[in-house]
Amino acid sequence: QVQLVESGGGLVQPGGSLRLSCAASGRVVSINRMGWYRQAPGKQRELVATITSGGSTNYADFVKGRFPISRDNAKNTVYLQMNSLKPEDTAVYYCNAAVTYDSGAVYRVADYWGQGTQVTISS
């Protein structure tokens, strides 16, 4: 059993910044890949950025260098530094992780989703 807890969402003006955090807890051995997706009303959920425990990153085209992703493996936490925010960035942002966990018998890998955190960019 693994839980993902997100924080850092809120209301910010265009051009501002937010830092999203997502921490995994439970029977975590390691986080193979962790990152963020977002979903605006009436839109499909889309990838924002992901990072592996080894530091390999994957970014959506719309990020355009604005949203560097990082992680602290010791804390089982991923961060998304959101800079130069635009109104079109408004969405619910969901943490996602592929986690290796201790089942009590063997290590297993499973995907987990956070509850989502609202990011609103408005004047």
- DSSP per position, 17-76: -EEEEEEEEESEEEEEEEEEEEE-TTS--EEEEEEETT--EEE-GGGTTS--EEEEGGGT
Instruction: Give the per-residue pLDDT at 18.
Output: 98
Q: What is the pLDDT of residues 66-112, one digit of tens each?
A: 999 999 988 999 999 999 999 999 999 999 999 999 999 999 999 99
In angstroms, the CA 30 to CA 53 distance is: 8
Indicate the Cα dihedral angle 108, 23, 50, 109, nearest 10°. Answer: 0
**Tokens 């977002």 correspond to what residue?**
38
pLDDT single digits (tens) 40-62: 999 999 999 999 989 999 999 99
